[in-house]
Amino acid sequence: MKRRTFAQLAAFALAAGLAGPAFAQDTLKVGAVAPKTGPLAGGANVSYWPNVKLWVEDVNARGGLSVGGKQMKLEVIEYDDQTNPGETIKAVQRLAEQDKADIILPPYSTGLNLASAPIYARYGIPMITSTATTDKAEELSKQFPNVFISLGGAQGIAKGVVEAMSQLKDKGEIGNKIAMVNVADAFGIELAGVAKPAFLAAGFQIVYETSYPLGSQDLSPVMKAAKAAAPDAFVAFSYPADTFALTEQAIVEDLQVGAFYTAVGTAFPGYGARFGAAINGVLGVGGVHADGEAFKAYAARHEAVTGAKPDYWASAMVYSTFQVLEQSIEAVGLDRAAITAHIKANSFDTVIGPLAFDANNNNPSFWTVGQWQGGVFKGVASTGREGAVPVEKKSAWK
């Protein structure tokens, strides 16, 4: 076994060594850096890494990228940043200086994207972020004109939740009492901060409100207290592990609400697989035009190539931003400044539909709320995307 592995490696190294120089000019090096370990590895392994693999496979299957009239195949260099911003920055430097990567993809998550924006700016790398949610697009683009925001910001996401809840309230399907909890981390605190005044302005009453630390092992006190407040709707600005835990506690406690919302993780295929029919009607952050042909075809390829289903939020966005980069490179070549200018000026056809950036390098139309309906997580609210389905009242857990 060991010997065979060694022999294979040796053969591979030899082949690479011999073949390398001959084909060197026909391949483009694509650098990718994101967590493979650390707290955000779970999310990156659902939404980010499979898309890097899929995109490179797709492009190579077509014969490569056409740059200056020549077909160039892609070759990936992957780095694990251990969910540590310092490592992300080092890896980008290494990709640019040592590996001489022709294309460098943006990292994963809001924090790591914001932390590494200056280094991308220093090298002038077009950075079309796909997993960062921020309201600071205007300031960012002023400081770093190469940075693009596509996944939206807290304002849009929180307003989407309020809008979906208001629709249910206006239809008379839920009352106006809301229990709202959030994870005590930048994402949860920011969203809760935006959502609270918006709920109050929309005529809701917040009957229970609390935060809990990241990595809490037992959220049953939170769910018991929320239940005791007898809310009509439950809203949690949560991270994946607590999204799962809160949902399980809600099922155990049989929390009877007309609307149940959890944030990151709700759109993961694993969430649907774990809870099955019980979560029909659960609302969550994100969403896609799940019935659209473009998404269906993308999901099928994603599963065929990577062996896993895409999530119903960031996955398609990650792939779409790679498509933007791909189309820009085919249009203007590898010059970084030219790519950035091209992205600013054009609209792109992607798996989430047309994608274009405004004067602040911000994608103004993104999905904000989705809902599990019949085993699929469908977009129910967006800031101008097509294909939203009407929001439904949450049925009983069983």
Partner 1 sequence: MDILITGLLLGGTYALIAMGLNLQYGMARIMNLANGEMLVAGGFAAFWFWTAGQLSPFLTVFLVFPVAFALNWLVYQVFLRPLVKRAKSRGQLEVDAILTTFGLSFVSVGLMLAFFGGDYFSYSYLSVPVHLFGSTWGANRVAAFGAAVVICGALWLWLSYSRAGMTIRAIAVAPDSARLVGIDVRKMAALAFALGGAVTASGGALISTFLTLDASTGVMFTLKALVIVIMGGVGEVRGTIVAALLLGLLETFVATVIDPGLTLAAAYLLFVVILLFRPQGLFGKRPT
Q: Give the shortest CB-184-to-partner 1 separation in angstroms.
A: 5
Q: Give the shortest CB-394-to-partner 1 separation in angstroms.
A: 18
Contact call for residue 79 and partner 1 (CB under 8 A): no
Q: Give the shortest CB-304-to-partner 1 separation in angstroms.
A: 17
Q: Give the shortest CB-309-to-partner 1 separation in angstroms.
A: 11
Number of residues that bind partner 1 (CB under 8 A): 44
Q: Quick count: other Cβ atoms within 10 Å of Cβ 265?
A: 25
Q: Quick count: other Cβ atoms within 10 Å of Cβ 125?
A: 23
Contact call for residue 245 and partner 1 (CB under 8 A): yes
Cα 232 vs. chain centroid, distance in angstroms?
A: 29
Contact call for residue 91 and partner 1 (CB under 8 A): no
User: At a CB cut-off of 8 Å and minimum separation 6, what does 141 contact?
Assistant: 147, 148, 360, 361, 362
Please choose, out of 7-15, 221-229, 364-372, 383-391, the segment that lies near partner 1 by the rule CB under 8 A: 221-229
Single out the residue of 77, 230, 308, 332 in contact with partner 1 (rule: CB under 8 A): 308
Q: Give the shortest CB-49-to-partner 1 separation in angstroms.
A: 8
Q: Give the shortest CB-212-to-partner 1 separation in angstroms.
A: 4
d(CA 167, CA 203): 12
Please choose, out of 39-47, 148-156, 282-290, 342-350, the segment that lies near partner 1 by the rule CB under 8 A: 39-47
Supply the DSSP string of 319-373, one letter for each residue: HHHHHHHHHHHHHH-S-HHHHHHHHHH-EEEETTEEEE--TTSB----EEEEEEE
Q: Give the shortest CB-217-to-partner 1 separation in angstroms.
A: 6
d(CA 59, CA 370): 30
Residue with tokens 């895409």: 310
Contact call for residue 256 and partner 1 (CB under 8 A): no
Contact call for residue 53 and partner 1 (CB under 8 A): no
d(CA 367, CA 326): 23
What is the CA angle 258-247-397, rounded to 5? 50
272-291 residues in contact with partner 1 (CB under 8 A) are 274-276
Contact call for residue 85 and partner 1 (CB under 8 A): no
Q: Which of 206, 210, 201, 195 is nearest to 153 (CA)?
A: 195
- Write the interaction track for partner 1 spanning residues 122-161; mark x where CB under 8 A is met and - where it is not: ----------------------------------------
Contact call for residue 225 and partner 1 (CB under 8 A): yes
Contact call for residue 358 and partner 1 (CB under 8 A): no
Burial of 35 (0-12, 13-18, 19+ CB in 10 A): buried
d(CA 323, CA 308): 20
d(CA 306, CA 56): 12
- Write the interaction track for partner 1 spanning residues 162-201; mark x where CB under 8 A is met and - where it is not: -------------------x--x-----------------
Contact (CB, 8 A) for 374 and 292: no
Chain contacts with partner 1 (rule: CB under 8 A): 36-39, 41-42, 44-46, 49, 83, 181, 184, 210-213, 215-222, 224-225, 240-241, 244-245, 248-249, 251-254, 265, 268, 270, 274-276, 308
